[in-house]
Amino acid sequence: WHRPTRRSTASPPPRRRGSTMTSNAEAAACVGEYCNYGWNEVLTHMSPYGWGYFGIGLGLGCSVVGAAWGIWLTGAALTGAAVKAPRIRSKNLISVIFCEATAIYGVILAIILLTKVQTKELADTLPADWENDQFYFAGYAVFSSGLSVGLTNLASGISVGIAGSSCALADAQDPSLFVKILIVEIFASALSIFGIIVGIIQSNNADFPTE
């Protein structure tokens, strides 16, 4: 499905030299047969459902990548340090839990956003003069929400992983340092909470039309 506009059969009107302004009619008309003549046509005529699902995929994918990256950093340091100091194995697993929380936040947001795009199939029944503002606002809102949460969870997962690996190595040398560095991990993990709060607010008014 793409934006229901008629393909222009004539060449686009000439522009004045040095002018970058584009009229609404010129922006809505497709030069290519499938509205794929350049990135401008592709991005402005992509289905709002496509924008929504891209946002959900990016949000979930980046969150899982951040969690996996953090667990990789923390787990490698933890297993290496535990060879010399086996006592650190249990309590430093909390660093792995903090990393896994970023993936859980991504799953939660993906479920919330999926409930917003599960609507009636209207793609083939819309008239040519349908007002697309509500469609595209919902698609862009879901996309931006997923992207915001995905990027914040990616950054949070990596930062928690680096702090967790430092915590394991420091705890192996000096047990009194564990609580001090754990506070750093908590602040790094809070970044993902900020992201999911803003992401939910962004998608609040993303209502796809149902009739």
Question: In sequence order, which residues have a C-beta less than 8 Å from that of residue 21 and are 6 or more positions away?
Answer: 15
What is residue 34's predicted lDDT score, i.e. its pLDDT?
Answer: 67
Quote the DSSP letter at residue 7.
B
- pLDDT digit string, tens, across residues 66-119: 999 999 999 999 988 888 888 888 888 899 999 999 999 999 999 999 888 866
Q: Closest Cα partner for 92 from 204, 20, 175?
A: 175
- Identify the residue whose tokens are 């934006």: 3
Q: Angle at CA 150, nearest 5°, toward 195 and 56?
A: 110
Q: Is residue 171 over pLDDT 70?
A: yes
What sign has the CA pseudo-torsion 85, 86, 90, 93?
A: positive
- 200: burial class by Cβ within 10 Å (0-12, 13-18, 19+)? middle
Least confident of 4-18, 54-68, 139-153, 196-210: 4-18
Distance of alpha carbon 151 from alpha carbon 195, whole angstroms: 8
- In this prediction, residue 44 carries a pLDDT of 74
pLDDT given for residue 205 in this prediction: 82
Round to whole Å and give the CA distance between 163 and 177: 12
Q: What pLDDT shows up at residue 15?
A: 47
Higher-confidence position of 119 and 200:
200
Distance CA 77, CA 187 (A): 20
With the C-alpha atoms ordered 150, 155, 158, 160, is the resulting torsion angle positive or negative?
negative
Highest-confidence range of 54-63, 80-89, 126-135, 136-145, by mean pLDDT? 54-63
- Rounded CA gap, 104 and 117, in Å? 21
pLDDT tens-digit map of 18-36: 444 444 445 556 776 767 6
Alpha-carbon distance of 200 to 142, in angstroms, equals 9
Q: What is the pLDDT of residue 49?
A: 84
